[in-house]
Structure 1
């Protein structure tokens, strides 16, 4: 046992085996949480704080065991077949069939790809997707992480957040509803909102009014998403369900009908044990 300068015993050093497992776990977590479809050797070294040679050695072992694999281009590391199989079995044991069945019914009923996503900080992680059977469709990408404001899932989570209510708009915050003597741009803060902030406020207000969020993809993508929040039973586990597809099929006149189906799917997932399990991934 070693003694610290203050005279108190210091923690026993970790064995090399335990340290290796901890480092490997950190790498696996970094790869799984990567928002860009995997991570490079340099990125993983920076994220975990491990030197490049250590990361390189551990990645070789993890790839050899099937826990990780290289991307087609070879420069990024992604979840391997063994890790994916472990994830599927874990989800299956905790109620994934119920979620998949609900998403399948939603995809069949709307003709579009249906997904469930979870909030992680200022991003949304897609957990499970069921693809549309249409030839032209959105390809759901489980494991992809996106900024909240760039997906219908995220807009729904912001608009109906019950913990901090970042998207809840008070009468004073409504467009044009700022304090009369503040001389501000409508948010009561004394500053003028940017066009992007104004557009976001309108999206949140519209979602709260409708009960579901609508967000068109980047210009030229031709995609539209529609989402509703899921009551997981815990204010700290925030989930939402969405459908995504071509704007040409998800036309304005269909929004209410599509929204009703998405809300019904979200309601049917309310309180399911799987929500708690998914929320911990």
Structure 2
């Protein structure tokens, strides 16, 4: 009986995880296909989750989307990340200075998750939704965090085959490790269309009180704007300064025991 309850809980959590900004609404058949479980099981799970407010069923389309109970949990999670609230003004100022969209991201298991995103005045489609999982080997946030991990941990995080997202994506472990060495020496990374064609991203590390990289700040924008801005040393300095400010804030909070 307990095994059955554990299985139901596991499947319910798997259902929640497949909703995304790209697929905000799903039907029973599609969910069953993605999770490789029976439609009757999906129907039973969704009925329970609907009654608890974790999913919502559109009475016209019969499609399901995430419910308000998930939103309340999301707000709780955001308040439990101590440096997130105080990082937002720094990201706002960074976006204002650079004119490009800024992000704060962390490593979650083997993917990058963005905790905050501040859009610029003239944004482009970046597919960097909050909470969405992104690859670590082809994003500036992922590469800057990887660069400051030990080699054994890096290998444990990387899949055997690195997926190619654009013609510029690094798919060789050797080439990626070489780039990580460079990143580690210069304390920033530039990803030139490695994840999305037409997009350049710059990432810098965020350190904790033990000088461990626990997060990263990134700026992303279209190639034609970013290439011009990268010619100005102040552009990169502004990004580095934002990372340093958040790092200092984290260390200060630790000293005060906050």
TM-score greater than 0.5 by the shorter chain: yes
Measure the CA separation in 1 of the matches of 2:41 and 2:103.
37
C-alpha contact (below 8 Å) 2:15/2:31 kept by paired residues:
no
Name structure 2 gaps, 5 residues minimum: 156-169
SS in 1 for 2:221: strand
Matched, 1:144 2:132: yes
Counterparts of 1:101-250 in structure 2 under 5 Å? 101-136=89-124, 138=126, 140-162=128-150, 164=152, 166=154, 196-218=172-194, 221-233=197-209, 238-250=214-226
Measure the CA separation in 2 of the matches of 1:148 and 1:214.
14
Higher helix share: 2
Cα separation, partners in 2 of 1:211 and 1:75, compared to 1, 3 Å: farther
Cα separation, partners in 2 of 1:77 and 1:99, compared to 1, 3 Å: farther
SS in 2 for 1:248: helix
C-alpha contact (below 8 Å) 1:152/1:227 kept by paired residues:
yes
Measure the CA separation in 2 of the matches of 1:75 and 1:221.
36
Q: Equivalent residue for 1:28?
A: 13
Structure whose CA Rg is larger: 1
Work out which of the residue numbers 242, 249, 257 in structure 1 matches 2:234.
257
Q: What is the TM-score normalised by the length of structure 1?
A: 0.64
C-alpha contact (below 8 Å) 2:140/2:191 kept by paired residues:
yes
C-alpha contact (below 8 Å) 1:114/1:244 kept by paired residues:
yes
1:121-144: CA deviations, max 9, x gaps? 332122221111225464641111
Q: What is the TM-score normalised by the length of structure 2?
A: 0.69
Aligned residue pairs: how many? 229
C-alpha contact (below 8 Å) 1:32/1:79 kept by paired residues:
no
Cα separation, partners in 2 of 1:137 and 1:42, compared to 1, 3 Å: closer
Q: Alpha carbon RMSD of aligned pairs, Å?
A: 4.0
Q: After superposing the two structures, state which structure 1 stretch, 264-273 or 224-233, moved more.
A: 264-273
Q: Equivalent residue for 1:272?
A: 250
Name structure 1 gaps, 5 residues minimum: 1-12, 168-193, 277-281
Measure the CA separation in 2 of the matches of 1:195 and 1:66.
42
C-alpha contact (below 8 Å) 1:137/1:245 kept by paired residues:
no
